[in-house]
Every structure is written in structure tokens, then in C-alpha cells.
Amino acid sequence: MTTATGFADGGGLFDDLIAALQADALTVLDEAPRLGVFDTTRRQWVTGSGVFDFDDVTVEGFDRSAPYIAIVAGSVFTVEGGAASLSIELASRLQDHVMDVVNHGWPEAYEYDRFNGLLEPGTDAFGRVGWLLGGKLVAQFGDLAKRA
């Protein structure tokens, strides 16, 4: 089954999403950041593995009742909602991490060598999830790598 994210949701497996986001990050980074998703209902990793033991997590304000716990480059956070919310939150946290590493905005949008702005993860008017500029889908997650 394909979700609004454009990635297969095989019972909560987001391996394609993780691979796509890492590929996008590799357009400007030398090494892909570690990403992982833990399903709190099933109490198991749905992608990534061995990042942390759920029972050992003691982060102040950490909501163990959230459907997902995610990790992006060492930052652990909870995600409410389904596949689209998880996709957007992972991409947003990844974007913050990449910008911190490269010390400038990312991903940047250009048209005819003119800077148009920074792409933002989100959902467009048609419910599609990916990199948006001005509310319009510019690229699905993973497409930045194909354009580089």
C-alpha cells in the first residue's frame, strides 16, 4: 500500500523514506546522518535498529504514549499522527541538522541560477508530502539526490 508520502507503508516500515531522506542529505554531506523510527505500540524498530533501547530512554518531557519515537543524528523526539506527520517531522529535523553542519540554509531552490528560497518539508494542497516552496510541491523526498 502506498501512502500520501509516496512511500510504501508495509505495516509501518519506513525504510524507503529513511533512504530517501538520507540520499537528499548526501547532496551536501559526506556521511548520511543516522535516522530511526520506533513504533511504541509494537515496541519495536520499524526502521533503523539498535539506536536506543526504548526502556532506557529517560529524556525529560519524553512522551512514551506517542505513536512513534524517532531519532535524527542523535536527537530523540516523539511524533504524533501517521505516516505523513512522521515523514514531515523527520525531514524537518533532518533539515535542521544539515543546516547546522553546513552552516547555511538547505535545501535551496534555484531557477535559472536565481535563488528562490529554501524548500520546507510539508504537505501540498493535494495532500502530497515532500519538499515545498510557497506551498507547492517542488520535489518528493529523495528527489534532491536525483537532481544533484
Q: What is the 3-state secondary structure (H, E, C) of 55-122?
A: HHCCCCCCCCCCCEEEEECCEEEEECCCHHHHHHHHHHHHHHHHHHHHCCCCCEEEECCEEEEECEEE
Q: Is the pLDDT of residue 114 over 90?
A: yes
Q: Is the pLDDT of residue 29 over 90?
A: yes
Percentage of the chain beyond pLDDT 90 is: 49
pLDDT at 111: 87
pLDDT at 49: 59
- Mean pLDDT (the chain) is 83
**Choice between 85 and 41, residue whose per-residue pLDDT is larger:** 85
Question: b/e string for 110-144 if b means 16 or more Cβ within 10 A?
Answer: eeeeeeeeebbbbbeeeebbbbbbeeebbbbbbbb
